[in-house]
Amino acid sequence: MINIESIQTAYKILQSVVHKTPLLSSRTFNETTGNEVYFKAENFQRIGAFKFRGAYNKISSLTVEERKHGVIAHSSGNHGQGVALASKIFGIKSVVVMPHNSVKSKVEATKGYGAEVVFCGLSTDDREKTTQELIDKYGYTRVHPYNDEKLIAGQGTVGLEIFQEIKELDYLFVPIGGGGLISGCAIAAKHLSPKTKVIGVETEGANDCYQSFRAKKLIRLQSVDTIADGMRTLSVGSLNFEIIMKHVDDVITIKDDDIYPMMKFFLERMKILVEPTGAVAPAAVMKNVLGLKGKKICAVISGGNVDPVFLKQLL
């Protein structure tokens, strides 16, 4: 089982290749919410999202034989870019399976980092099926987007960096897609700051973890409907869910409509570009879903890769 030592080891591996992203704050946001709030800005990470951390840590652990055959991943965008860039650094072949309706800019970026892109249907099942067919045919090594110990350890370095700068934190808000980011961050938080409450955030249209957390069993949705494309998984991973149940204090939801004002605030007041999924955890703080006052809070901005068409609509 993954632990704080796994995350610390990953941090040593990643230090020379990742950006140590900043913790940002806004006096206006603090005054509005009545809390002392920090944003961990992974939109400034390489490839524009936290996903590079986990992908690099996983690929760094592969054997010479596995690297020779190349790697494969399925992704709607950010994980694919992370795998593509990490593979390029290691000089190995990468293939990324993407839904045919993926954001064009994310597809182009994935190709730009050197990956071969293969398109598939829209569901998670379609991605898994196409990925497995290519593994069977070519012998690629799978780099799972969230249900993998090495990957979780890499994502956990986000939490490690937070607590290097903030020693005492009341709440840590983290978005949940497949569960890799919150799994790693929760392990780091509970080891480095046991009193910190870790809160997972989803959108109502993709609330599989919210339901699973309350039912205390893994629930798989039939479909999802959300503008947060990083949350369009039908269920969190089994390994991720085990960690979430052990280390996460609560899972909450927001509406898609809560995302727009948060993105707008980031753009107009803080001058940063944040994608819909990246705005989910901060939006829960802006909306004050938990009714907090006078608390020290950190919310993770998971990425900043916004579809230009969506951005135009937002503006």
Catalytic residue positions, numbered: 51, 302
Q: Which residue's entry shows tokens 């936290």?
A: 50
In the chain, at which residue ranges do the beta strands (DSSP E only) sit?
23-24, 36-41, 71-74, 94-99, 116-120, 141-142, 171-175, 197-203, 250-254, 296-301
Q: Please choose, from the candidates 278, 270, 281, the residue with its C-alpha nearest in 3D space to the C-alpha of residue 305.
A: 278
**Contact call for residues 78 and 145 (beta carbons, < 8 A):** no
Alpha carbon distance 68, 27 (integer Å) = 51
Cβ 181 vs Cβ 280: under 8 Å = no
Classified as helix, coil or strand, 135 is: helix
The answer to whether the beta carbons of residues 81 and 55 sit under 8 Å apart is no
Distance between CA atoms of residues 56 and 2, nearest Å: 17
Pairing of strands 71-74, 197-203: unpaired
CA 174 to chain centre: 9
